[in-house]
Amino acid sequence: MSSPVRRAILTAFLLRPGQSIAVGELAELLWDEPPCSATANIRSHVTGLRRDLDEAAPGLSGRLKTYRGGQSGYGLDVTPDESDLARFTRATRHGRALLLDGRADAAVDTLEEAVALWRGPFGQDLPPTRWFSAHTVGLNNARFDACQDLFTACILAGRTELLGYRIETVIAEEPYRQKLWALLAAVHCIRGDVVGALNAVKRCQQLFAEDLGLDLPPQVAAMRAAALTWDCDAAFRLVAARASTAEGTAPDFV
């Protein structure tokens, strides 16, 4: 699908599955200031989207419904089992509930399924409108929250192989998340790598001071204290305490 407008229209339908979106509302989602030709452009792109859907799977265009009446519009019939976002939401909620219940191994398996549904950041090549920007921020935050829950569950389940590397890859995308730095220091400390733990703390301290003008986050400072005393158990208890009051909730986009 080469047209960015068609991708944006399809994304809007997937974010509002089974709902009718009036043409006027769709125009406001696609453009903060819709052009005079917005209605004609949308109709043309919807026609092209039908072709794209049939090329992907013959007959798929039948899912794209046209609604007529006072407010004509369009919508896409999608079941929850067909939507990655719906599956992600369910798996994230279930995984977080398992984590809060102390079932770390089961939480890891469930949250791995949720995180595996992502292929990269949401929002690339979408119009930078207020509506799409809000969804971009919300969905990407939901992904990072799920990653944090997954990494926490991995630590509590003792499944820390390559976990430091996995946390580093997420920090590269979202460097100002305090909990990620705390988890990175915890992994090193729990595995007996005190130097690695203190190095993670130092990097975090420099980043927050130079970029944000902030002191070392309390979560990370607590991990530094554990590392300085070579107290692996203390680092584990800090992670467990955070898990018992897990932050964030699964998104309500679906």
- At 184-221, the pLDDT tens digits run 999 999 999 999 999 999 999 999 999 999 999 999 99
Q: Which residue has the tokens 């039948």?
A: 62
- At 219-243, the pLDDT tens digits run 999 999 999 999 999 999 999 998 8
Torsion of CA 202, 185, 173, 103, to 10 degrees: -160
Residue 171 has pLDDT above 60, yes or no: yes
- Residue 151 in tokens: 């990494």
Just give the CATH number of 4-78: 1.10.10.10
Asked if residue 93 lies in contact with residue 71, where contact means CB atoms within 8 angstroms, the answer is no
Residue 127 has pLDDT above 70, yes or no: yes
| Torsion over CA: 245, 212, 172, 160 (sign) | negative
- At 72-123, the pLDDT tens digits run 899 999 998 899 999 999 999 999 999 999 999 999 999 999 999 999 899 9
What does the pLDDT read at residue 246? 58
For residue 213, what is the enclosing H or E element? none
Q: What would the mean pLDDT of 4-26 be, rounded to a whole number? A: 94
What does the pLDDT read at residue 253? 45
Crossing angle of helices 84-100 and 104-116, rounded to 10° = 160
- Confidence category of residue 1, pLDDT binned at 50, 70, 90: low
What top-level class would CATH report for the domain 82-243? Answer: mainly alpha
The region that residue 158 occupies, defined by phi over 0 for left and psi between -120 and 50 for alpha, beta otherwise, is left
- At 63-73, the pLDDT tens digits run 999 998 766 89
Query: What are the residue boundaries of the structural domains of the chain, listed by start?
Result: 4-78, 82-243
What does the pLDDT read at residue 2? 63
Residue 127 to residues 3, 147, 180, Cα–Cα distance (Å):
12, 26, 30
